[in-house]
Amino acid sequence: MKVLIVELGTSGKGGSFRSALDLKVALEAIGLEVHIVIVNKSELIESSFASSHIHRLFDPIYSTSCLQITLNKITFGLLSLFPSLTILLNKIIHYRSLQHINKLITDLKINAVHCNNQPNRDFFLTLLPDIKILMHARSLNGDGFTKAQARALNNRVRSVIAVSQSAANYWRAKGIENISIVQNYSKLFKSTNDEVKNDIIYVGRLVKEKGVDTLIRAISILKNNHPHLKVAILGEGHSIDELKSLAKKLDVENQLHFLGYVDQRISYIQQSKILVLPSQREGFGRTLIEAMACEVAVVGSNVEGIKDIIQDKINGRLFEYNNYQELALVLKELLDSERIRIAIAQQGHQSYLLNYTSKVFNRKIKEVYERI
């Protein structure tokens, strides 16, 4: 059986791209031949797939360019004004992309297409004729997704794979049926004897919904009792200047270190005491299980996707989203008590071993593919 993964992400290195690699490994483990279509350059993909199995596609909406930004605004404006025209507009806008992918399906003798992002982003792929389709639901962002789209998707997609119970609940409420839950996984990372270099670490995009400003405000409280606190911020995004300005305003520039995108994020996590994910919402929260795999204590906001992973005071700590005072108290407890922090980190590692290993992921993906 041959599978074509379609990855419509723009960054080339974000969570969906890493998830595409995880999916490739799982599918190859059960004897399938895997190809991938990407619409933007990705060194991560290009270093992990055979060149003959990587196929580039220009899409007017998802290929990164000034034209893409303009068309995105126009398209979503039209869809909000005329939701009944969603399917027709998708046919028109993605006509060339559908032709290209359909030719690949024929030429490569593809048996199934696996859409790797989320139903509203990947919806146009349901217009491909005469091919088995599977679709991931990796986020809780379905703005503009209509009931007509849900009905069309239910008629064409053999299985929708949600990365968490929260994601499954979200997309069911949007009208999608036949949802399976397969959580992401992380590799098991060996403990290192490296000296701990960071008290706290954040890994992710620097955008408003990730709540990094909440972390910065919490640090401004913590620094009174922990003046030598070291906080590593790993990631890029359009909020970086705003966040740096906030750090300066709150006089925590000496505590915060903005390191940009880092390929070796795992080594940074291993050298940290606590990983914080203060997001407004998450489909899953991959960095949490990466920290658990490293036996690093995790703290997250009490929102969908994160609370699927963290059980408060057992395998991690939760705080109310946007409540920086509560976050400061949680972090203070973990920094002040090595015993509590280590116990939570150890329980987190046990949660990882039970739920988030490649063995568990591969088994669940195999079950999904056997059903189609």
Residues 9 and 100 in one domain: yes
pLDDT band at 363 (very low <50, low <70, confident <90, very high): very high
Is 68 a residue whose pLDDT tops 60?
Answer: no
Mean pLDDT of 58-65: 82
| Closest to 325 (Cα-Cα) out of 288, 292, 278 | 278
Residues 239 and 104 in one domain: no
Residues 221 and 362 in one domain: no
Tell me if 206 is assigned to some domain: yes
Residues 114 and 261 in one domain: no
Is 179 a residue whose pLDDT tops 60?
Answer: yes
* CA–CA distance, 8 with 121 (Å, rounded to integer): 8
Q: What is the helix (H) or strand (E) element at residue 275, kind and residue range?
A: strand 272-277
Query: What is the chain's mean pLDDT, rounded?
Result: 92
Tell me if 176 is assigned to some domain: yes
Is 190 a residue whose pLDDT tops 80?
Answer: no
pLDDT band at 189 (very low <50, low <70, confident <90, very high): confident
Domain boundaries, position 351: 198-355
Q: What is the CATH number of the domain that holds 276?
A: 3.40.50.2000
Give the pLDDT score at 4.
98
Residues 178 and 294 in one domain: no
pLDDT in tens, 125-168: 999 999 999 999 999 988 888 888 999 999 999 999 999 999 99
Tell me if 190 is assigned to some domain: no
Residues 277 and 263 in one domain: yes
Tell me if 234 is assigned to some domain: yes
Mean pLDDT of 39-52: 91
Residues 60 and 134 in one domain: yes
Residues 147 and 22 in one domain: yes
* CA–CA distance, 297 with 289 (Å, rounded to integer): 10
Mean pLDDT of 168-183: 96
Domain count, the chain: 2
Mean pLDDT of 259-279: 95
Residues 265 and 343 in one domain: yes
Burial 107-128 (b: 16+ CB within 10 A, else e): eeebebbbbbbbbbbbbbbbbb
Give the pLDDT score at 294.
95
Tell me if 6 is assigned to some domain: yes
Is 76 a residue whose pLDDT tops 90?
Answer: no
* CA–CA distance, 348 with 342 (Å, rounded to integer): 10
| Closest to 291 (Cα-Cα) out of 226, 203, 178 | 203
Residues 32 and 177 in one domain: yes
Of residues 372 and 332, the one with the higher pLDDT is: 332
Residues 252 and 297 in one domain: yes
Tell me if 44 is assigned to some domain: yes
Phi, psi of 94 (to 5 degrees): -100, 20
pLDDT in tens, 19-35: 999 999 999 999 999 99
Give the pLDDT score at 267.
94
Mean pLDDT of 226-235: 96
Give the pLDDT score at 192.
62
Residues 241 and 366 in one domain: no
